[in-house]
Structure 1
Amino acid sequence: MPKAASAVLVQTFYEDNLDIAFIQEPYIYGNQITGLPEFTNKDQIAVKVNLSLGENTQELNICSAYLPGNSRDYESLPLQGLVDYCGRQKLQLIVGCDANAHNTIWGSSNINQRGEYLLEFISLNRLEILNVGNCPTFRNSIREEVLDLTLSSPFITNFVNKWKVAREISLSDHMHIRFEIEITLPTATTYRRPRTTDWNLYDALP
């Protein structure tokens, strides 16, 4: 990520009071990236966060991944290991990725072979595509395309909304993508069931 684009992201992050940013190709400090070590490398960063559910919490794994343009075997990528880990541990997962793949399923203008491979990977791993519409996520002087995907495990999909490609200037050839995770707990509803009411007891009440 260019330094100017990083500066814009940091400013947007604080001005709009955002909580999490998914960043591909970040700067590396001390030859190290902080995250879940077994699922973190130069192309992928994975961390755990806790979502508040009233008195309880829900553990959520979030991952920012860059899928190399020459990749054909997605099962060999670290992302597969993370997906398998979340499945075994019954953990929720959200992935923001620069997929470098075209498929009309997520709004691209056409379908290429990488897009076919990636769609198969998504289907086999029962992931959900959160992209909405076909607004380009990548723009440069010669072309524009939908190359960036937001994926999730099925359960957490129900709580993700307002997914959109932001209109703000990013100073990168990739646009900012925004969405919200809203965890709401069901509220108790009181009601009367006349058929099961003990009317004798009701009449005896003071």
Structure 2
Amino acid sequence: MKQSPGTQVIQCSLNRQKPVKAAIVIFGSSLEVIHDPQLVTENIVAVLLKVGQLSIGVLSVYFEGDQELHPYLSALQHTTHKLHTNNILVGGDVNAWSQWWGSVSENHRGAEYCSFLHEQDFQILNSGQTPTFEIYRGDRWCTSIVDVTACSLSLLGKMEEWRVERGLTSSDHNAITFSMRLEKALEPLRPVSTRIYNTRKAKWSDFGSHLKANLTEKEITKVRISNALGPEDLENILEEYTNAIHRSCDEAIPKLGSPKYSAKPPWWNSTLDLLKKDAVRKKRRIRNAAAHRREYTIEIYVTAKNKYTLAATEAATASWREFCTRQDRESMWDGIYRVLRKTARRQENTLLRNTAGGKESMSSTYGLEPHNTVFQSEMYALFRAVRLAKESRAASISILSDSRSSLDLLKRPSVTHHLALQIKSCLSEIREEGRKVRLFWLKAHVGTAGNERADELAKQAALTKETADYDKVPVSYVRRKIREGTVKKWQARYESSSTGAVT
């Protein structure tokens, strides 16, 4: 599925072994989206949406009708547990029938999926008997209700207006819409870019006068800087200087607004819009047509749909051809490379210097067992860093980590993880001594020198460390081993048995 401006598409894009059947599309910029690529497959896609203080796990699923349902349900259960939230919303085509979501009858797949939803304490949101799937096959108009929406009990009271929209899309599957009631209106997220001000519209003369006045007000002069008594005094002066710059920018430079995007592709036009509406309108007429006119009505719909599909394909192809013919001797890429060649070479980020002027005062590596998880390694690294901060006796310490999940766990008021408990205990002892320690998250694999150096040390430890400094066994490893042992025993019992019966 292609990603358009103003949207975020989460789908399986790497190591695909079969066609992608599930995806999640986020419109706008009011939701914080967190997704783990390990929880995204061709048939199940999971993301964590943060709306204020509320975290919602959203899953899109497609269960193949000719495949056993149990492996899908096991994967779905595993994925919901990995989201680490009690607020779960699941929707998709399950290829199963049950009266619980409006089908006329129930088959064995419907009974199995119903049982799974009840075990997980998920509540079915489907209401009414409007078909979610409608298609013309041969000389028959086929309809069914195979798309199911379910949520956890904690979200049930927030869900409203669930319904099937027949005229919203020209697909064989009708659209399903519903609303979720929030405590307050959504607000746009802060942009990922660090840019705040629109410097193209800056009034630099006003900025200079405001900055001079602010520096005079705070008594930031060369004499004061020269007479600084130590690093802490310089830090205070630097903070006042930064605040003066911010105030001057607020007074003389307008701030950047939220970016505006259009979800429509560049080749979309009014003709395609009319053809799409015509195809949807003729599809709606099928269910109201008399029996003797139904075949004729279906033929009209198929003709309109094919006409719309052909026009959309031709428009996209023509747009691409126009783009290609526009590129002359200097293509769009040649221009970019020419600019890069003429500009100064980019300087890489350097490591932060300590108070003595050195770049890296020390480094430590630790070994783990093969059964330890990545989360355990990140938590153990934070534990050693906090313990080192406690032993250093420094007045102010900043610890940076690229593990957001570890930092999110430490922010929780109550935790049970033994490393998290030890970290919070060390932090409390440091703060009781009147010292300051702060934890920061930084993005991984973006060229930050300190973070790249930490990754390099981690790889060295994995290759050279023979004795593990941390060897606690995670519960997930125990469960996996128990399951593997059970499967082996079952297979051996099955192979040695004369019949397939088990008593």
Separation in 2 of the partners of 1:175 and 1:85?
30
Corresponding residue of 2:270: none
Amino acid at match of 2:70: D
Corresponding residue of 1:96: 91
Corresponding residue of 1:49: 49
Q: Which structure 2 residues correspond to residues 7-18 of structure 1 after superposition, within 5 A?
A: none
Corresponding residue of 2:133: 138
Corresponding residue of 1:192: none
Tell me the secondary structure at the aligned position of residue 140 of structure 1. Answer: strand
Separation in 1 of the partners of 2:156 and 2:8?
17
Corresponding residue of 2:80: 83
Separation in 2 of the partners of 1:74 and 1:104?
23
Corresponding residue of 1:174: 173
Structure 2 residue ranges without an equivalent (≥5):
17-22, 25-34, 185-503
Q: In the alignment, does 2:63 pair up with 1:64?
A: no
Tell me the secondary structure at the aligned position of residue 105 of structure 1. Answer: helix
Q: Are the structure 2 counterparts of residues 76 and 100 from structure 1 closer, same or farther at C-alpha, using a change threshold of 3 Å?
A: closer
* Correspondence for 2:118 among 102, 117, 123: 123
Structure with greater proportional helix content: 2
Offset of residue 36 of structure 1: 2.3
Structure 1 residue ranges without an equivalent (≥5):
186-206
Q: Which has the higher contact order (CA 8 A, sep 6+)?
A: 1
Separation in 2 of the partners of 1:169 and 1:84?
33
TM-score, with normalisation over the residues of structure 1?
0.68
Separation in 2 of the partners of 1:149 and 1:137?
9
Number of aligned residue pairs: give it. Answer: 162
Offset of residue 49 of structure 1: 0.8
Separation in 2 of the partners of 1:74 and 1:127?
19
* Correspondence for 2:102 among 97, 107, 120: 107
Amino acid at match of 1:152: C
Q: What percentage of aligned pairs have identical amino acids?
A: 25
Amino acid at match of 1:39: L
Corresponding residue of 2:229: none
Greater C-alpha radius of gyration: 2
Q: Is the 8 A contact 1:138 1:175 kept in 2?
A: yes
Corresponding residue of 2:39: 39
TM-score, with normalisation over the residues of structure 2?
0.29
Q: Are the structure 2 counterparts of residues 138 and 76 from structure 1 closer, same or farther at C-alpha, using a change threshold of 3 Å?
A: closer
Deviating more after overlay: 62-71 vs 75-84: 75-84
Separation in 2 of the partners of 1:126 and 1:100?
21
Q: Are the structure 2 counterparts of residues 76 and 96 from structure 1 closer, same or farther at C-alpha, using a change threshold of 3 Å?
A: closer
